[in-house]
Structure 1
Amino acid sequence: MAHETIYQALCIQGRGELRRELARALRTGHARRRPHRQAASRQPRFSHPIVMISERPAQSNDRAVPGHWEGNLIIGKDGASAIGTQVERATRYVMLVHLPGVRGAEDVSTALQTTVQILPRHLTKSLTWDQGSEMAAHHAFTVATGIAVYFCDPISPWQRGSNENINGLLRQYFPTCIGGGGVRDRVGRP
């Protein structure tokens, strides 16, 4: 049975008080699933060619060698705030990137550059990100830092599983600190 079928069964079958209990038990607190956009409706966002996750070095896939990172952008309620998250794949070390007010591609690139400067060189091998427009300046980031950037396939958050888990925990445990109420990731999921 697919995970989507299980979620649909939980969300559809509950009625009345049972539905409210189910919603409270779910990490997001929402009883209704939102459909995701289709990959065919996506527009190209990058002026430089992107390197896909399938071309990422094998050493980053087995999590044995530290220095390979996963990243994403979390947008606060009503788009009022944003935080970049980076998770190191081997150690699960988390770094939060402060983005005060603006979150354009150049702003994200500059903030990421500032954040990774504190790391020793042997801990900065690669960064895997989704195909969000906030990484349109990925080439400038790579030139400035020497860190290769790899991109996940469209609508494939499981390819950055550690980062998605951390983002979910941040949304669950700090809902009022990030965006003053509820937090959505870049694609608008609760």
Structure 2
Amino acid sequence: MPGPISTWSGLTRGLKRLHGETGSPPLRLLAASPGAGGRLSKSTISNILNGKHPTLEQLTALLAAFGTSPKTTGGMLAAYWRILAEHEPPAVYPCDIVERAESEREALHVQEEARRRYRGIEPEPELDWYDEQLRDAEETKWRRLEMWVDSLSDEELAALNHQAAAASGRDLGSELNDVRDLPGQTA
């Protein structure tokens, strides 16, 4: 009988074994199961079963989706904590550094979501890749505009305001103040 699980590959093998012992149900059924509780997607389960390091919440949800016994769940969670407690060797290839950083970032995200739920704050909706790119581009545009306006001297700002007022009757000073007062914009 093998000893306790103490590596990520051992945890992955154990999860694959549990998946097989439950009859290898389709991943979409596992993701939709009451045990998963909407915390796992089909791709997340696939990634975990193929060696991606799960977060504690993902592991707990996957074990619940498998319908494991309290003893098995306790043993797998103990293995998870044992693996985290061990010092990881230094990265041996560049992708390892990125994978570890991503894993740490995801763990921080899970902690932040737990804090938000505890405080009764609604979680921010997750954006897909395209929407994130749009949001980042818009945010960058506003930051550049702010930096440009902040770099103007009082004389340059007055000259621009005079030109705008002469051309269209606009008051740039009040428009800039309006923009700075928008939610999500910083002064």
Tell whether the structures are fold-level matches, with TM greater than 0.5.
no
Whose strand proportion is higher, 1 or 2? 1
Give the TM-score of the pair, scaled to structure 1.
Answer: 0.23
Higher relative contact order (CA 8 A, sep 6+): 1
Whose helix proportion is higher, 1 or 2? 2
Give the TM-score of the pair, scaled to structure 2.
Answer: 0.23
The structure with the largest alpha-carbon Rg is: 2
